[in-house]
Structure 1
Amino acid sequence: MMGDMDKRTLTEGILDKDFTGKFTFNPKEGIDNPIMVITDDTDSGPPRPRLCVLKREQGESYGFNLRAEKGRPGHIIRSIASGGIAERSGLMDGDRLLEVNGCFVDDISHQEVSRRINVSGNQISVLVLSGDQYEQAKSEAHDLRNVAVVTKCESVKPPRLCHIKKNSTSGLGIGFTAVEGQKGHFTVNLVPGGAAEKAGVYKGDRLVWMNGGNVEDLTHSALTKMLKKSGSQVTILVVDAESEKYYNSQRLPILPAMATPHNLPFKARKFHLVQDKNGYGFILRLEKSPSGRTGKIIAAHVLREMDHGGPAEKAGVRDGELLLEVNEESVMSLKHEEIVDRVRQSGQEVTITTITPKGLDFYTMLGLSPLLFCEEVKEQDSSVPATLINEEEENTCKPRFCTVQKGSLGFGFNVSSVPHMSGNFISQVVDGGPGHKAGLREGDLMLEVNGHNVEKKSLDDVIILMKEGTSLSLRVVQKLDHQQPAPEPCSSQEEGNTDEITYL
């Protein structure tokens, strides 16, 4: 709990290990030492931030605390472990955090900054200013956002995390060519109009990561085997070639936490609930069940038995979803009674973040936090049937009705067609846009537009129909070529399966 005099969040525990670093010196190139960060404090002009890259092994700590202290502005780096990862990466006591994985964080809450660090996984890049420079910049009214972008290039684009599902015509629709003379560097080749292209991959992209593993140490043969082993679907991290050059020149890691998501089959969902006379209208159970793909027994906090017409059901929460956060605080490691206390202490309103069991398993297999990509379900969206469909129902291939209200930048999705083939499909959905909020997904096949059947209409005819008015009523369907059987639901009546139950 934060006291009056000193608020603190322990972002990472302290790692206490001895460390001996080595570096080489070349008078033509200067110091080549990833352990050290050198700055020239004698230069005049605006303060110069330092970029520090921290990488840890599974179960290790980064070796620093992140604090918000009364009377001291900014997010403050404290308690640097001697010889730990943070110290070796160049962090110093009193540093102020400006960016996490390329995102400016000085103007957001301390809780949100801690959250971003915790969901980043085992590697993060942070941009910092020394305490003295930060306080001087504040006193001189420097715009710290401009200070942070000194290290940026306007043409640099974020990497893309793309999930590709094989189709019957082109398979995964992707291949790779090794970059000559650069081990572990691969250029993407695409089948035009194929599954990879529809999933947000571009011709000429550079491959960074596949199914949770970096490819920098792989040969072309090993990469090909990995792709074949992926089966009917694969998740890759890619970036355009020019942006890759910039990241490499700045010694910046290219991380999933920096990426924009494309075609991901699962996302965590955030709901804002307001109590009625019966509470929030769901039961929270602590259940033990096997993880869908690994078979490992896990304990999870599961939302069950939604009250018909209650706040949870109206918001779109579905039976069997797993609770990840309460008021943007992770609860995955908390005890049942601790979670219940947090919900009750929230009063008449609470924000919860959930994901389906299959969704949790998806991110676990990739080594990513399920909180990395989260979409907020607005109260007004709950009346749209499409928003109530979760990932486990994608394979039913049932048509869906989606009502899309035109926003300031349009409807927020693109429609495409494949030459010599009938039908038009949703080729791109803007994350957070009107189409996304209405429940449209990339790959959806359009059946009707404003009551008109469009299954055999040309793309031009469909676009003409879409231009009529500021609201669209769409009937769409998404068919998956390779379906995976859903795991058997865990019965709450099995002996020893349910530890605790609380009605909320």
Structure 2
Amino acid sequence: MKYSNTGIEDVMEYPRFTFNPKEGIDNPALVISDDPDPNPCPVPRLCQLKRAEGQGFGFVLRGVQGKRGHVIREVEPHSPAEVGGLRDGQRVLEVNQEYVDNMEFPELLRKIQRCGLRVFLLVLREEEYEQAVSWCLDLQEVARSNRGDNHDHKARLCHVTRNPVQGLGITIRHVQGQKGMYYLSTLTAGPAERAGVRNGDKLIWVNGVTVANLTFSALNKIFKRSSIHVTLLVIDRESESVCIKRRIPVVADLAECLSLAHRPKTMDLVQGPDGYGFLLRQEKLRVSGRIVHLLREVEAGSPAAQAGVEDGDLVLAINGEAVETAAHELIVHKIRESGQSVSLTTITLKGRDYYRQLDLSPLLFYDEDIKEAQNGPDDRGNLLYPTGPRLCVLDREAVGFGFNLCCAPDKPGTFIGQVASGGSGQRAGLLRGDAIVEVDGQNVEDRSLEEVGALVKAGLTTLKLLVRERTEGEHLGRNGPQETQTAVSSSAL
């Protein structure tokens, strides 16, 4: 364009160029470039937060009135939240790789509480979030594209029970010249393979101890000390490659939980004329000095006893809300404000020690257990199995098969009585009250309790039980076990 005294003249100036047959056309005025993407995809950030016992994460989570999403606010200086990368205004897309943007606010709070001392949050800056919403982007796809669709590329948590003949069913291979690099070979259909370990898996940790800095002899000692069972975190080569590429840490919190011992249990209690029938007591453990909240003095025939509450159960959650570290008075208040019914999630002291050794919250994978139950939870919050006959294969352990037998007076049939928490029977799917149809292929429906017991005891290393759900006509009397520290305070409920 040229400017003149009379205004603007349309004068086109063509650039000069020369043609060189060897070099092609010399045209400096012609510049070819890609247009910038007007809608760049927002990039979420993965933040790992780790707090100490009794410490908070150091941020406030708020819902947005009349809008979707959950906002990070009031990040405290030098807190686990700030150190982990959280900033004011960020929006939470995922918690431990589960999409939560469309989750109800109370449910999201409970989920973060259940993570225990460590949580992974995938967050998006506020302006990026608002822009993505205005562009109608699928935020779940945004989260997935950031980490890749790696649901099939996760580490695995596997609890392996030693077999008297096969042992653990694994061989450890050390990569020469590379400290802490261990791979596993599995015995076909052996205990490790049945627990979810695959041939060629890389070993990340054993019983909560990371193997990267262990010598082969030190690792061997850990396995030898685990006389009955061992919990492994493993990953295959392809999955590890995906995690490295996506910068996803290989940790138990983000692993696929295939098997763990000592599962928590949830019981729904309906208040009777005299209350629930148990005493909630705050106690100080002698060895560790930790303060815990235990259920004591469970009254026979009370709503608590009928729901399956056992003396010495440690309280983890009230109505789905984690309360393990809450004050005694607050827990009592939550139970009482619940009205005529309450849901208790508990675990044995032995079970809680097991999860502490693994540095995991016992509630971390509990929702996963409920979702994977084939018929969903029943009206007491217990997991249901198919109502038809079920084949349960049990491995004998040092303490036996992990269950006992019972029968109804003057009535045919033998039933499963107590099932040891975390034992072989529980892992195989046995439920208290199951009617036994066959023992190692022999029909026992018309056999006496003594005969069935003899067949069970005859099982050397494995036992195959065909069981079915007890019918209403096969009523059994209550045969629940009674299970346990210095009392600090207690309340009758």
State the TM bucket, normalised to the shorter chain: 0.5 to 0.7
Match of 2:404 among 398, 401, 408: 398
**Aligned amino acid, residue 404 of structure 2:** K
Match of 2:138 among 143, 148, 157: 143
**Structure-2 change in CA distance of 1:312 and 1:136 (3 Å):** farther
**Aligned amino acid, residue 318 of structure 1:** E
Asked if the contact 2:402–2:425 (Cα under 8 Å) also holds between the matched residues in 1, the reply is no
Percent identity over paired residues: 37
Specify the alignment match of 1:337 in structure 2.
Answer: 329
Q: Does 1:252 align with 2:244?
A: no
Q: Does 1:280 align with 2:276?
A: yes
- Give, in whole Å, the separation in 1 of the partners of 2:41 and 2:432: 45
**Structure-2 change in CA distance of 1:68 and 1:181 (3 Å):** farther
Show the 5 A alignment for 1:156-171.
Answer: 156-171=152-167
Deviation at 1:167, TM superposition (A): 2.3
Specify the alignment match of 1:498 in structure 2.
Answer: 487
TM-score by length of 1: 0.67
- Greater radius of gyration (CA): 2
Match of 1:114 among 86, 103, 109: 109
Name the SS of the counterpart of 2:122 in structure 1: strand
Deviation at 1:241, TM superposition (A): 2.1
Specify the alignment match of 1:178 in structure 2.
Answer: 174
**Structure-2 change in CA distance of 1:195 and 1:145 (3 Å):** same
Deviation at 1:58, TM superposition (A): 4.2
Name the SS of the counterpart of 2:312 in structure 1: coil
Number of residue pairs the alignment of both structures matches: 397
Deviation at 1:237, TM superposition (A): 0.9
- Give, in whole Å, the separation in 2 of the partners of 1:54 and 1:428: 32
**Structure-2 change in CA distance of 1:383 and 1:340 (3 Å):** same
**Structure-2 change in CA distance of 1:97 and 1:244 (3 Å):** same
Asked if the contact 2:403–2:425 (Cα under 8 Å) also holds between the matched residues in 1, the reply is no
- What's the RMSD between the two structures over aligned residues? 4.1
Cα offsets for 1:89-118 (capped at 9, x unmatched): 443321111112211122223344334334
Deviation at 1:189, TM superposition (A): 1.5
Asked if the contact 1:177–1:187 (Cα under 8 Å) also holds between the matched residues in 2, the reply is yes
Specify the alignment match of 1:270 in structure 2.
Answer: 266
Specify the alignment match of 1:98 in structure 2.
Answer: 93
- Give, in whole Å, the separation in 2 of the partners of 1:227 and 1:448: 37
- Give, in whole Å, the separation in 1 of the partners of 2:491 and 2:42: 52
- Give, in whole Å, the separation in 2 of the partners of 1:360 and 1:78: 32
Specify the alignment match of 1:355 in structure 2.
Answer: 347
**Structure-2 change in CA distance of 1:447 and 1:399 (3 Å):** farther
TM-score by length of 2: 0.68
Specify the alignment match of 1:378 in structure 2.
Answer: 378
Q: Which is further off, 444-453 or 255-264? A: 444-453
Show the 5 A alignment for 1:68-467.
Answer: 68-82=63-77, 86-87=81-82, 89-121=84-116, 123-150=118-145, 151-153=147-149, 156-179=152-175, 183-290=179-286, 295-374=287-366, 378-379=378-379, 397-399=403-405, 401=415, 451=445
**Aligned amino acid, residue 260 of structure 1:** E
- Give, in whole Å, the separation in 2 of the partners of 1:98 and 1:265: 31
Q: Does 1:64 align with 2:70?
A: no
Asked if the contact 1:402–1:473 (Cα under 8 Å) also holds between the matched residues in 2, the reply is no
**Aligned amino acid, residue 46 of structure 2:** C
**Aligned amino acid, residue 203 of structure 1:** N
Name the SS of the counterpart of 1:137 in structure 2: helix
- Give, in whole Å, the separation in 2 of the partners of 1:96 and 1:234: 39
**Structure-2 change in CA distance of 1:452 and 1:177 (3 Å):** farther
**Structure-2 change in CA distance of 1:149 and 1:446 (3 Å):** farther
Deviation at 1:260, TM superposition (A): 3.3
**Structure-2 change in CA distance of 1:246 and 1:271 (3 Å):** same
**Aligned amino acid, residue 196 of structure 2:** G
Deviation at 1:438, TM superposition (A): 7.6
Asked if the contact 1:449–1:473 (Cα under 8 Å) also holds between the matched residues in 2, the reply is no
- Give, in whole Å, the separation in 2 of the partners of 1:89 and 1:181: 34
Cα offsets for 1:58-108 (capped at 9, x unmatched): 457654333334345322122334565544544332111111221112222
Deviation at 1:445, TM superposition (A): 7.9
Deviation at 1:247, TM superposition (A): 0.8
Asked if the contact 2:298–2:305 (Cα under 8 Å) also holds between the matched residues in 1, the reply is yes
Deviation at 1:266, TM superposition (A): 0.1
- Give, in whole Å, the separation in 2 of the partners of 1:445 and 1:102: 43
**Aligned amino acid, residue 180 of structure 2:** G
**Structure-2 change in CA distance of 1:149 and 1:219 (3 Å):** same
**Structure-2 change in CA distance of 1:356 and 1:132 (3 Å):** same
Asked if the contact 1:199–1:262 (Cα under 8 Å) also holds between the matched residues in 2, the reply is yes
**Aligned amino acid, residue 364 of structure 1:** R
Specify the alignment match of 1:32 in structure 2.
Answer: none
Q: Which is further off, 126-135 or 223-232? A: 223-232
Asked if the contact 2:160–2:191 (Cα under 8 Å) also holds between the matched residues in 1, the reply is yes
Deviation at 1:325, TM superposition (A): 1.2
- Give, in whole Å, the separation in 2 of the partners of 1:394 and 1:297: 32
Q: Which runs of 5+ in 2 are unaligned?
A: 1-35, 371-376, 386-398, 407-414, 418-423, 457-462, 471-482
**Aligned amino acid, residue 156 of structure 2:** R
- Give, in whole Å, the separation in 2 of the partners of 1:501 and 1:89: 38
- Give, in whole Å, the separation in 1 of the partners of 2:80 and 2:314: 33
**Structure-2 change in CA distance of 1:317 and 1:99 (3 Å):** same
Deviation at 1:239, TM superposition (A): 2.0
Deviation at 1:207, TM superposition (A): 1.3
**Aligned amino acid, residue 73 of structure 1:** R
**Aligned amino acid, residue 50 of structure 1:** P
Q: Which is further off, 342-351 or 46-55? A: 46-55
- Give, in whole Å, the separation in 1 of the partners of 2:318 and 2:426: 34
**Structure-2 change in CA distance of 1:122 and 1:187 (3 Å):** farther
- Give, in whole Å, the separation in 2 of the partners of 1:382 and 1:56: 31
Deviation at 1:343, TM superposition (A): 0.7
Q: Which is further off, 372-381 or 297-306? A: 372-381
**Aligned amino acid, residue 97 of structure 1:** V
- Give, in whole Å, the separation in 2 of the partners of 1:277 and 1:307: 13
**Aligned amino acid, residue 75 of structure 1:** H
**Aligned amino acid, residue 132 of structure 2:** A
Asked if the contact 1:176–1:189 (Cα under 8 Å) also holds between the matched residues in 2, the reply is yes
